Amino acid sequence: MAETACERREILRLGLPITLSMTGNVTLPFLSFAMLGWMSSDALYVRSLYIPLSQLFVALLLAFETSAQTAVALAAGRQRLKDVPALLRSALVLGLAGGIGLFLVLFTTAPLLAELLSVPADARGTFMSFLRWTAAASVLHVVPVVCAACLRGAGRPSRAAAIVLTTAVLEVACVAVFGFGADLGLWSVPLGITVGCVAGAGLAWHALRGGGPLPPGRGGHAVREVTGHLRSVGLPVAGTFLVLFCFSLAQLWIVGPFGEGVVSGFSLAVTLQGVVIQPALALGTATAILMNQRRGAGRTERLHRILRSGLELTALAYLPLALAVWALAGPVAALATGDETAAREAAHYLRVVGPSYLMMGVTLAAFTVLEQIGRGRTALLLNAGFFTVLAVSGLYAARHFDTPSGLYWVVSAGNVGGAAAVLFVVRAARSLHVPTSSSFAQREAMSESE
């Protein structure tokens, strides 16, 4: 019991700062989006066109973030924090190379994307320039994101949260100052990203080196180590994110025929839902970090108990949260928009789906753990199958009953039914063993024996 209580406290110690940083990182960008709407309708239109394309960068950042975090957590468990600089350098090199590659793809395909998105001729030049400049600035996100991930993996979640929140707050502040004060409008976005990322990188350097939480490391790189985790953890996580993105687009297509008010209300509800799911993702991440640290230390006998503690904490958090969303759906929706039709539809969605957030939260936490303990490909396959069935069932229900509520009830039922997969995750945790195939770990064992 004492050890279980200690593990719960450790999950909370890691999870609370991660929740703060993840929630802020989701919420703050919407402020800059809202400010552009006050600047000009043209600025808001171009920014709206860029949002789906920005998800490609989010997927890339998730891939390297989770890979670095897992690699460092395992190193911390082996009491080999001096390996972290090599892991960090390799993750940064690979991440920046991937970001530059994505930027070049978007740069060269900008005219084609403008054509595919049916951008009017008078806005096409602005759209292509904004796409290219913002994509170039977005590459810089790799540095603070990967550094923060390494700090979380090493058990320094508060320092990681400071980096993430500093980056996001400065981005929003620059949009406000330069967008309104200097009348830069749309172009304040890439400028804000640049300023925020440079400041975040500087804070990360202080946290990793000048702040002294990590010991000095040796030279060299650990490319093979990071690449291995990228294959088993990072890329499947990015793939799952893209699956969820496609599911979101499918839902918009399903509710589209019911009118602009319904679409706006549904989009608002899903946006609010994106904030609600952050604690589950954070607690799942905290649980995975603790499990990976124990794996690295060879203490695998209690991994399933750590997972159980993390899921119990998630359930305790989401029981009042689900009730609050259901009870306050109307007032929250009314505060979020002045459009009565949109507010009414958003409230209806939250009342139908809100009670299922209890099981959704537990499932999300479990799958976050599954992704970060080396079972990412399995999680990707399960998610792809689940959301495909959900999209097809939601389409049938909405069309058959001629109401978007059909989709909402399918989503709610899916949240409840999907919780059965938690049992699979628990079995996966029981089957884990100490990783011995890592070339990096093998080199360390050889160096110690010498």
pLDDT digits (tens, 9 = 90+) for 31-78: 776 676 677 667 767 776 787 788 889 899 999 999 999 999 998 888
User: Per residue in 8-17, pLDDT tens?
Assistant: 899 999 999 9
Average pLDDT over the chain, rounded to an integer? 85
Q: What is the pLDDT of residue 445?
A: 41
pLDDT in tens, 394-441: 999 999 999 999 999 999 999 999 888 888 887 777 776 544 434 444
Residues in the chain: 450
Q: Is 359 in contact with 393 (CB distance < 8 Å)?
A: no
Cα separation, 450 vs 438, whole angstroms: 19
Q: Which of 384, 403, 32, 406 is nearest to 191 (CA)?
A: 32
* Neighbouring C-beta atoms of residue 215, cutoff 10 Å: 10
Instruction: Single out the residue of 318, 359, 376 nearest to residue 62, CA to CA.
Output: 376
The 10s digit of each residue's pLDDT in 119-136 is: 888 888 988 999 999 999
Closest CA to 133 of 60, 52, 175, 188: 188
Which pLDDT tens digit goes with each residue over 356-405?
A: 999 999 999 999 999 988 888 888 999 999 999 999 999 999 999 999 99
Report which DSSP code applies to 400.
H
Q: Strand, helix or coil at 222? A: coil
Q: What percentage of the chain reaches a pLDDT higher than 90?
A: 45
Closest Cα to residue 199, out of 159, 157, 165? 165
Q: How far is residue 355's CA from residue 358's CA, in Å, rounded to a whole number?
A: 7
Identify the H or E element spanning 191: helix 188-205
Q: Is 138 exposed, middle or buried (0-12, 13-18, 19+ CB in 10 A)?
A: buried
Phi and psi angles of residue 361, each rounded to the nearest 5 degrees, phi first: -60, -45
pLDDT given at position 447: 39
Rank 85-89, 102-106, 176-180 by mean pLDDT and report only the highest: 102-106
Tokens of 392: 């097809």
> Residue 208: CA atoms inside 13 Å, Cβ hemisphere, count?
29
The band of 110, judged by pLDDT with boundaries at 50, 70 and 90, is very high
**Cα 251–421–247 angle (5° rounding)?**
15
| Predicted local confidence at residue 443, as pLDDT | 44
Rounded Cα distance, 29 and 274, in Å: 13
Mean pLDDT of 221-248: 87
